[in-house]
Amino acid sequence: MLLLLLVLTILSQHNVLGQFGEYAQEYGYVTVRPGAHMFYWLFYTTADVPNYTDRPLIVWLQGGPGGSSTGTGNFEILGPLDLSLQERNFTWIKNFNVLFVDNPVGTGFSYVENLQLLTTTNDQIALDFVELMRGFYADNPMFEGINLYIYGQSYGGKMAVDMALRMREAEEAGTIQSNLRGIAMGNAWISPVDATLTWGPLLLAAGLVDQEGYEAIQASAREAERLFNEGQYVASTNQWAATQGVVFQRTTNVDFYNILTKMPTNQPESRSALELSRDMLIHNRPYGSPMNDPVVYTLNYMMNNLVKPALGIPDHVVWGSQSNAVFNYQNGDFMKPVTEGIEKLLNETDIIITKYNGNLDLICDTPGQILWVDRLKWPGAEAYKNATRQPIWENDKLEGYYKAYGNFRFFWINVAGHSVPRDNPAGSNAFLRDMTSFG
């Protein structure tokens, strides 16, 4: 650890010109509302092209809500450098310009001057995102009109739906010069009740619980559903967290992000079920990982002690310090689905709608995704259901399956949990190429 910190310190001293690492980049703040400031970090593609704008712009959204794209998404999943500051050979900037956004406001390096300015609904998040993108295009006009794709993981996938609606609305009104061509929802929190109700069946089928454990999980999940149906949305969120607690107990602490991961059996008792669930989602780390886990500690250290001074982040901003509040302010919206928004996009736009899922994920499990997909009401619904599922071959390996009709497609990705781009880069290439023609 001491050697790693020494290396990090040396590298940070070489970033005095206002960037972190050797990759071409831009970053900045956009005031999306008075007192609400959002941070973005753009990495230009390293593809061998005459101009950066010969390749599309991809926005990456982390989950949570409260998970940092500039931190977790960048250094842990698909950015040019990993947590050891080693080059990542499957980074997305090899083919795309990638814009990491700390979203919703209050996440990562984004901040509000008063917590009352935090968002409470998905639509408020989307409206802030449109303002963020207006500011981004003002700072980087070269990207106006360039194909734009939004990729969101977990809660980021949920946010992407309303963002697409608001972005298309702004494009049609002529108030933003973007060219949104598609969104991708990766292991996304689209229909939370469906996801929660399928935890038990998946765990039973995988042999991770017995019948008694299955029934205990389902009883708790059905209570979350009941509360939701009665309009008790905050109580439903709390019951969802309690259901996670039942799952942990009955499985001896299964990893919600990959059911095959071997996990420690100890369960911290100093925090509530909701706090434990919140911390897992914000940090994109399995339940049971202590908060001083070396990987989490290194990311916090890097962002606050190396990245922050290198990029000239204001002294008063502490990376991640408002993330818990971001999650808490969304409690009333957390369990609400966004399937109506997906139907609106399918019925009224030509935007490509991609759903991809790592088959080893539990929290946003594949069975729960299929339930809401099969209920979608759009002209191509029956044709999609009747379409043949095709295999995904990459380098002579079966990486998963896909099914598509019109502008909707579903990708099942093998040997991958919650963070598909990190767990199975080869499988990820399939849905990247399908949407963008690159990858």
pLDDT value at 329 more than 50: yes
pLDDT value at 41 more than 50: yes
Catalytic residue among 102, 279, 333, 361: 361
Domain of 213, in residue numbers: 196-283
- Identify whether residues 153 and 17 lie together within a single domain: yes
Looking at per-residue confidence, does 137 or 19 come out higher? 137
- Identify whether residues 185 and 211 lie together within a single domain: no
pLDDT of residue 288: 55
Question: pLDDT-derived band of residue 13, with 50, 70 and 90 as boundaries?
Answer: very low
Proportion of the chain above pLDDT 90, given as a percent: 86
pLDDT of residue 91: 98
- Identify whether residues 28 and 124 lie together within a single domain: yes
Q: Comparing 17-26, 195-204, 366-375, which segment has the lowest mean pLDDT?
A: 17-26
Q: Strands 408-413, 57-61: parallel, antiparallel or unpaired by DSSP?
A: unpaired
Helix (H) or strand (E) holding 182: strand 179-186
pLDDT of residue 294: 54
The verdict on residue 85 lying in a domain is yes
Average pLDDT over residues 114-118: 98
pLDDT tens digits, one per residue of 42-93:
999 999 999 999 999 999 999 999 999 999 999 999 999 999 999 999 999 9
The structure's pTM equals 0.93
As a whole number of angstroms, the distance between CA 161 and CA 318 comes to: 29
Proportion of the chain above pLDDT 70, given as a percent: 92
- Identify whether residues 38 and 178 lie together within a single domain: yes
Write out the two tokens for 327: 């999650």
- Identify whether residues 59 and 80 lie together within a single domain: yes
| Sequential DSSP letters for 245-272 | HHHHHHHTS--TT-TTS--------SS-
pLDDT of residue 157: 98
Find out whether the peptide bond into 104 is cis, omega within 30 degrees of 0.
yes
Of the three residues 283, 315, 348, the one that is the final residue of a domain is 283
| CATH code at position 142 | 3.40.50.1820
Write out the two tokens for 249: 């107990």
- Identify whether residues 144 and 22 lie together within a single domain: yes
As a whole number of angstroms, the distance between CA 187 and CA 156 comes to: 9
- Identify whether residues 143 and 254 lie together within a single domain: no
Active-site residue, 178 included: no
Q: What backbone torsions phi and psi does residue 198 show, to the nearest 5 degrees?
A: -100, 0
- Identify whether residues 31 and 146 lie together within a single domain: yes
pLDDT of residue 4: 42
Cβ contacts of 24-32, under 8 Å, gap ≥ 24: 24/52, 26/139, 26/140, 27/311, 28/135, 28/136, 28/139, 30/131, 30/132, 30/134, 30/135, 30/136, 30/139, 31/135, 32/105, 32/128, 32/131, 32/132, 32/135
pLDDT of residue 283: 78
Active-site residue, 283 included: no
Question: pLDDT-derived band of residue 262, with 50, 70 and 90 as boundaries?
Answer: confident
Query: 93, 80 in Cβ contact below 8 A?
Result: yes
Query: 105, 38 in Cβ contact below 8 A?
Result: yes
- Identify whether residues 347 and 428 lie together within a single domain: yes
The verdict on residue 303 lying in a domain is no
Q: Mean of the per-residue pLDDT values for the chain?
A: 92
pLDDT tens digits, one per residue of 149-166:
999 999 999 999 999 999
Question: pLDDT-derived band of residue 275, with 50, 70 and 90 as boundaries?
Answer: confident
| Domain count of the fold of the chain | 2
Q: What backbone torsions phi and psi does residue 113 show, to the nearest 5 degrees?
A: -80, -15
Active-site residue, 437 included: no
The verdict on residue 302 lying in a domain is no
Catalytic residue among 12, 68, 154, 191: 154
pLDDT of residue 431: 98
Question: pLDDT-derived band of residue 296, with 50, 70 and 90 as boundaries?
Answer: low
CA-based end-to-end distance of the chain: 35
pLDDT of residue 293: 53
pLDDT of residue 279: 80
pLDDT value at 257 more than 80: yes
Write out the two tokens for 438: 């690159």
Helix (H) or strand (E) holding 179: strand 179-186
- Identify whether residues 387 and 258 lie together within a single domain: no
- Identify whether residues 363 and 240 lie together within a single domain: no
pLDDT tens digits, one per residue of 172-201:
999 999 999 999 999 999 999 999 999 999
- Identify whether residues 187 and 153 lie together within a single domain: yes
